Structure 1
Amino acid sequence: MDSAAVERFEAGRDRLASLAYRLLGSAADAEDAVQDTFLRWQAADRERIEVPEAWLTKVLTNLCLDRLRSAQARHERAAGATLPEPLLEGDPMLGPADTFEQRESVSLAVLTLLERLSPVERAVYVLREAFSYRHAEIAGILGITESASQQHAHRARGRIAAERRRGGETDPASARRVVEEFLAAATSGRTERLVALLTDDATAVSDGAGLGRRLLRYETPERVASFVRAGFKPTPAKRRLAGGSPAMHIALVNGSPAVLAVVGERVVGAVVFDVGDGRVASLHGIAAADRLARLNEAWRQHEPGAPVIDAW
Structure 2
Amino acid sequence: MTTPPEREDGGSDSRPDSRPDGRSEPGLSAIMSERRQLINLAYRLLGSLAEAEDAVQETYVRWYTLSPQQQQAIESPGAWLTRVAGRICLNLLNSARARRENYVGDWIPEPLPEPTEWSGGRAGGTTVDPADRVTLDESIDMAFLVVLESMTPAERVAFILHDVFRYPFAEVADIVGRTPAACRQLASSARRRIRTARSPAPPTGRQAVIVRNFKQAWAAKDIDALIGLLDPDVVATGDGGGLATTVRRPFEDAEQLARGLVDLTARLADLTILERTVNGRPGLVARQDGVIVTVYAFDIAGDRITHIWAVRNPKKLRPWR
- Shorter-chain TM-score: which interval? 0.7 to 0.9
Q: Say yes or no: does 1:75 pair with 2:107.
A: no
What CA distance in whole angstroms lies between the structure 2 residues aligned with 1:74 and 1:266?
A: 32
Larger relative helix fraction:
1
Query: Aligned pair in 2 of structure 1 residues 230, 105: CA closer, same or farther (>3 Å)?
Result: farther
2:88 is aligned to 63
Classify 1:276/1:288 alpha carbon distance in 2 versus 1 (closer, same or farther; 3 Å). Answer: same
Counterpart in 2 of 1:183?
Answer: 215
1:175-205 alpha-carbon deviations (Å, 9 max, x no partner): 2221111112223333232222123543211
Instruction: Name the structure 2 match of 1:306.
Output: none
Whether 2:182 is the aligned partner of 1:148: answer yes
Alignment of 1:162-311 (within 5 A): 162-164=196-198, 166-171=199-204, 173-208=205-240, 210-211=243-244, 216-231=249-264, 233-235=265-267, 238=268, 245-263=270-288, 265-296=290-321
Match for residue 10 of structure 1? Answer: 32
> Alpha-carbon deviation of 1:77?
5.2
Alpha-carbon shift at residue 229 of structure 1 (Å) = 3.5
Structure 1 equivalent of residue 54 of structure 2:
32
Tell whether the 8 Å contact from 2:106 to 2:237 is kept in structure 1 after alignment. Answer: no
Q: Which structure has the larger Rg?
A: 2
Cα drift, residue 230 of structure 1: 3.5
TM-score normalized with structure 2 length: 0.78
Alpha carbons of structure 1 residues 83 and 228: separation in structure 2 relative to 1, 3 Å? same
| Counterpart code for 2:206 | S
Q: CA separation of 1:281/1:58 partners in 2, compared to 1, >3 Å: closer, same or farther?
A: same
Contact 1:256 1:274 in 2 (8 A): no
Q: Structure 1 regions of 5+ residues with no counterpart?
A: 98-102, 240-244, 297-312
Amino acid across the alignment from 2:175: I
| Aligned residues of 2:111 and 2:278 also touching (Cα < 8 A) | yes
Q: With the length of structure 1 as denominator, give the TM-score of the two structures.
A: 0.80
Three-state SS of the structure 1 residue aligned to 2:156 is helix
Q: Is the contact made by 2:26 and 2:71 (CA closer than 8 Å) also made in structure 1?
A: no
* Deviations 1:22-46, CA, capped at 9 Å, x for gaps: 1111111111111100011112211
AA matched with 2:276: A
Question: Are the equivalent residues in 1 in contact too, given 2:229–2:305 (CA < 8 A)?
Answer: yes
Task: Report the equivalent of 1:305.
Answer: none
> CA offsets per residue over residues 217-258 of structure 1, 9 Å max, x none?
233434443443344x231xx46xxxxx23321010101112
| Cα offsets for 1:147-193 (capped at 9, x unmatched) | 111111111121222222x433412x332221111112223333232
Match of 2:152 in 1: 118
Change in 2 beyond 3 A, CA 1:161/1:221: farther
Match of 1:242 in 2: none
Please say if residues 81 and 215 of structure 1, whose CA atoms lie closer than 8 Å, have aligned partners that are also in contact.
Answer: no
In 2: Cα distance, 1:214 partner to 1:8 partner: 47
Rate the CA distance shift 1:88–1:112 in 2: closer, same or farther, 3 A.
Answer: same
User: Are the aligned partners of 1:207 and 1:216 in contact in 2 as well (CA < 8 Å)?
Assistant: no
Q: Which amino acid aligns with 1:203?
A: V
